[in-house]
Structure 1
């Protein structure tokens, strides 16, 4: 089990700390830095602890930043792996690897050492998260996807981008700009990953682990994904993702059209794409009528036209689900966090991640060949 933070937030050293950490500042740097979370000594905080002013940053979840790599590329990773197999002698060890080298090395080692499902989930959060909010979200995601035996996920790559900490409407536009910058950084990381695959598996002594990688984007996190897709050239895209789950997406309903030149690239990247929408999503309703010039949102209205992608793209209507996991004004009125608040949505997601045929996923009502409604049992 491993949880990594991929962040283009500024690096700081807070007062009284001995190590560098990510900042809460709403400021992005050009490239992602990578950190690994340490849950070995994690204890669930009490309500009193949560109220303390020091319940921030490393006191929420301990994590350690990886060093920057000594040199670019993945030849050093290859040398370490071949040395460990006794195929090629090298003085390098895993401690010589930094950044994405170290993360990809650890994931490959973990995922190839088991025959059980040991999938990776890349998660992109939405609007109005400061870094402390992100760390709390990481704890929730670990409980939901790693600790839960109903899930095939064993590793999480949490994409941390510097969204605004306030929900004041004008910060929405700051987040839009930040999501664009973060998408460009994510695009570079995607190219690093495809380069890693080419460098490592060009050697016949190393074989793919046959585990799966999934991508999940919530709300404005879909704009980060959209920015990445804008930058990707179709001829350079490899199908390295199994399932893409678009949750309550705060992007235009036209994103799959060729004129947008963004989500129409997803079928080249992934085996299956699932759009989870809620027609009562109040948050996306506000987004549409106050910030996006009356442009319908994908996560509330569904896509304009996906006829040519109907074999790959599914629409899952969550309008009628119950919030039986988390409740409160935020969830009852917002209808925007079904993946956290509803066991019905969670059950559907787990089956999706396991690769169950979309027509065989339980609790779904089939409306037509690629549109489904989650219903109460």
Structure 2
């Protein structure tokens, strides 16, 4: 499995193509470096470098790429397990359609959830710079002679799925990219961006707010939310403790749909989130009630990726509710 990370390795932080890469789980500080790697076995990771990484994506038999940004309190093994589950569900729907590529940023799961949450929030902010460097590397490669964009362009469609606090990483990465590397505004880089159980303020996606860049960088932005997401209740408690009072985007959806860009859609998952992820109701975007069988939220995500349209039967529709239904 190809993946990106800004977690420190046990080895040197200097990139060396072909070397073994081991996570230093005792070090949860975000690295300024970004490492391009291939996990060839559960206990075997090789650093392959950015050019080889991009080339491998281009030469892959899969038609589309899905970048997966995980949430807080996840160790690498947790991220790999989630990405493998999502990949298996995609393959079950259609072979060689979607290749899942996780981005592993440093979290800490050793302490109480509130303390752990606040530390991870700081780590998410600092990880944004590493992800923005990866976006720069991708754009540079896409326009370089190594890719030969005139004679042999890369035609892969790029999608993004950010879960929980991964939404904060994505938001801040686009802000950093826009501030330091772009003249004015981000390019349209993602076909679909899925904001699942987003742990950012619910007005953050409004025009003129920080997450509006997500809409600028995407053809479609789909917000999946559930009011009884218990993990986000802990998030709210942590933010209130630090004197930040705001509903989370993953709890209520956008504060005001009229103030969001026109390519932002909202999907209420209240009917299924706790059935799919009991008791937290937070990771409801993969399997349904039965492990290994696609849930209704996954089905909607996959169809968006496959077709490039959120509600193909109604071009003016921007909100929906995922109702309980019989799983195949």
Q: 2:304 aligns with which of 344, 348, 352?
A: 352
Deviation at 1:153, TM superposition (A): 4.1
Q: Which moves more between the two structures, 227-236 or 126-135? A: 227-236
For residues 236 and 259 of structure 1, what CA distance do their matches in structure 2 show? 12
Alignment gaps of 5+ in structure 1: 40-57, 67-98, 112-116
Cα deviation 1:253-290 (Å, max 9, x = unaligned): 11123553x21112221110000001111111221133
Tell me: CA distance 1:322–1:217, structure 2 relative to 1, closer, same or farther (3 Å).
closer
- C-alpha separation in 2, matches of 1:265 and 1:171: 28
Runs of 4+ that moved beyond 6 A: none
2:186–2:216 Cα contact (<8 Å) kept = yes
1:151 Cα deviation (Å)? 7.2
1:291 CA displacement: 2.4
For the pair 1:303 / 2:254, whether they are aligned, the reply is: yes
Are the counterparts in 2 of residues 302 and 315 from structure 1 also a CA contact under 8 Å?
A: yes
Q: What is the distance in 1 between the residues matched to 2:185 and 2:199?
A: 26
Q: CA RMSD in A?
A: 2.5
Unaligned runs of 5+ in 2: 12-18, 289-294
**Conserved? CA contact 1:163–1:178, under 8 Å:** yes
Query: In 2, are the aligned partners of 1:238 and 1:268 still within 8 Å (CA)?
Result: yes
TM-score by length of 2: 0.83
Aligned length: 301
Distance 1:65 1:232, change over 3 A: closer
2: CA distance, partners of 1:119 / 1:208: 11
Is 1:190 equivalent to 2:135 in the alignment?
A: yes
Aligned match of 1:271: 219
8 Å CA contact retained: 1:150, 1:350: no
| 1:212 is the counterpart of 2:160 | no
Q: Please give the TM-score of this superposition, normalised by the length of structure 1.
A: 0.73
Classify the secondary structure of the residue corresponding to 2:33: strand
Match of 1:49 in 2: none
Hey, what's the Cα distance between the residues in 1 that align with 2:126 and 2:273? 36
Q: Are the aligned partners of 2:212 and 2:261 in contact in 1 as well (CA < 8 Å)?
A: no
1:65 partnered with 2:47 = yes
